[in-house]
Structure 1
Amino acid sequence: MAKNILIVCTSWDKLGDTKEPTGCWAEEVIAPYYIWKKHGYNVTIASVKGGEVPMDEASLNPPYLTKEVEDFLLDDEAMKGLMDSVPLSDVKGDDYDAVFLPGGHGTCWDFPDNAELIALLSHFVDYNKVISAVCHGPMGLVNVKGTDGQPLVAGKKVTCFSDAEEVAVAKENVVPFMLETRLKELGALYECGPEKWAPFALRDCNLVTGQNPASSARVADLVVDALTWK
């Protein structure tokens, strides 16, 4: 039976309360989407509010415009997922084998304290399902508890957009908090790659995380591994 994977995107389209646009980072949705489709998985795209997912314009233009992103933009069936995403309120955790949180700076504002997202991820925790995230996607994990009542990430090997990378894009004073620092405060065994922007991903049992946009495909492959051995 084909596996069902849920991608949950941000619906936040501005950097905090500013007018500077942001949203979801294209590669972080699209690279995993195509990998999972090639494995015959069913992939559903949801977002916090539903409807059109705001995309970070930078991720749709060179030098970040990958061949896969170009193909996706011309793929009517795939694009429908981003143009008419399922509202998080309509999602039932029972319908999915794995959940994936792509990043983009929008997640910094509508992921951490979202009660519906926390409840959904708690369902995946309770039923020992695969939870995955990349770049700023782990923003959605910071208020999720494990079955022991401790932070989900406590004692687990995880990664995310590093503080060094946040400083490199000059957003350290814009984001509500530095994600790497917060994960460490929660007891995570944080790791990152030796170089900024290089692919780096980790799997700790059913928790899969990736460091940055370039890590998206590796996260997808590790999710496949996790589902294969379940």
Structure 2
Amino acid sequence: MKKAPPPARLLRKVLQRAGMHPEDPDATTFDLAGKRALIVATNTAVMDIGKPTGVFASEMTVPYYAFLDAGMAVDVASPLGGVVPVDPQSIKPVIRCADDDRFLADDDFKVKVTTSLAIADLEMDDYDIVFLAGGWGAAFDFGFSAALGDKMTEANAAGLVMGGVCHGPLGLLNAKAADGSPLVDGRKISAVTDKQVKELGIQSTPHHPERELRGVGAAFESQTRRRDPLANHWVVDGNIVTGQNQNAGPMVAREMMQLLVAQISPSTTAPTELADTGEKASTS
């Protein structure tokens, strides 16, 4: 593990108390040996204004290690295959989390990120879980990738547990339900808010998650704070689990694994909805 220097670790704790990268109050240990997960991340490395971007590191590393530590085999894919750029801002010592530290010292994971699989080449029924990682880069390719839309349609038809955080749910934008309607139409979905996009001053991206998902009928959910990057919200709707931003990563990964456990053992109770409070809705 590549540890951050002590001053950075102290500042991380300050940010965590403010809401950044919170711990999961309901963290659970899973045994999912023999199951397979897929993390999908962006290929976009530069915004149209020349600013470096990519996947926000923790939105890829947190679910990756959650699935891996549960015994799952985990692959990394992208719309085009090849290099998944990591947003340099997200791996600064103060901003990154413990799973990012682990990633920076993990040669196997780094190889997967630099040689990601092309989503079009995959058979989705080879997997049990597919997680859509966010970051500003996804605003440039997830919602424009016909291949990703097709594969998420296939994943849903195969009954996979699907999820994502931040800009990741844009990967659901072109996915279809069995009747041909937008997959997210009428479904509870969370992702980056228009307010957060405005607050961070990055409005030149072609897709804004809240706007685009609402546009195809999603029942969009979020929480707000004085600064939305410090807010947190996540929601479960059927086989889809989505989170507002990087802060929901641990919770979304846990909920996805709980849904998978419920598929394996139908008598196992799975929650129907969770939000930023960490309180479970009763299962109907």
Q: Same fold (TM over 0.5)?
A: yes
Deviations along 1:118-171, whole A, 9 cap, x unmatched?
111110121222111110001111121111222111111110011111111101
Structure-1 residue corresponding to 2:243: 210
Cα RMSD over matched residues? 1.4
Matched, 1:219 2:252: yes
Structure-1 residue corresponding to 2:274: none
Q: Distance in 1 between matches of 2:101 and 2:159?
A: 35
**2:143–2:207: 8 Å Cα contact kept in structure 1?**
no
Q: Distance in 1 between matches of 2:257 and 2:119?
A: 23
Mean alpha-carbon deviation: is it higher for 137-146 or for 177-186?
177-186
**2:164–2:243: 8 Å Cα contact kept in structure 1?**
yes
**2:55–2:136: 8 Å Cα contact kept in structure 1?**
yes
Cα deviation, residue 187, structure 1: 1.6
Selected match of 2:212 from 161, 170, 182: 182
Structure-2 residue corresponding to 1:133: 164
Letter in 1 for 2:118: P
Q: Distance in 2 between matches of 1:68 and 1:143?
A: 30
Cα deviation, residue 31, structure 1: 0.6
Deviations along 1:9-38, whole A, 9 cap, x unmatched?
1001111x3321111110000011111112
Q: Distance in 2 between matches of 1:126 and 1:67?
A: 35
Structure-1 residue corresponding to 2:267: none
Q: Distance in 1 between matches of 2:149 and 2:219?
A: 21
**Between the two proteins, what is the percent identity of the paired residues?**
35
What does 1:187-198 align with in structure 2 at a 5 Å threshold?
187-195=217-225, 196=228, 197-198=230-231
Matched, 1:90 2:133: no
Indicate the structure (1 or 2) with the bigger Cα radius of gyration: 2
Structure-2 residue corresponding to 1:5: 37
Letter in 2 for 1:181: R
Give me the TM-score of the superposition, normalised by structure 1.
Answer: 0.94
**1:200–1:218: 8 Å Cα contact kept in structure 2?**
no
Structure-2 residue corresponding to 1:154: 185
Corresponding residue SS for 1:218: helix
**1:199–1:218: 8 Å Cα contact kept in structure 2?**
no
Structure-2 residue corresponding to 1:58: 89
Q: Is there any run of 5+ residues in structure 1 with no aligned partner, and where?
A: none
**1:47–1:86: 8 Å Cα contact kept in structure 2?**
yes
Deviations along 1:66-124, whole A, 9 cap, x unmatched?
12201111011222211221122322212111111101111111111212111111101
**1:144–1:151: 8 Å Cα contact kept in structure 2?**
yes
Cα deviation, residue 199, structure 1: 2.8
**1:11–1:53: 8 Å Cα contact kept in structure 2?**
yes
Mean alpha-carbon deviation: is it higher for 78-87 or for 54-63?
78-87
Aligned residues: 228
Letter in 2 for 1:8: V
Structure-2 residue corresponding to 1:42: 73
**1:198–1:215: 8 Å Cα contact kept in structure 2?**
no
**2:139–2:208: 8 Å Cα contact kept in structure 1?**
no
Structure-2 residue corresponding to 1:117: 148
Q: Distance in 1 between matches of 2:244 and 2:79?
A: 22
Corresponding residue SS for 1:143: coil
Q: Is there any run of 5+ residues in structure 2 with no aligned partner, and where?
A: 1-32, 264-284
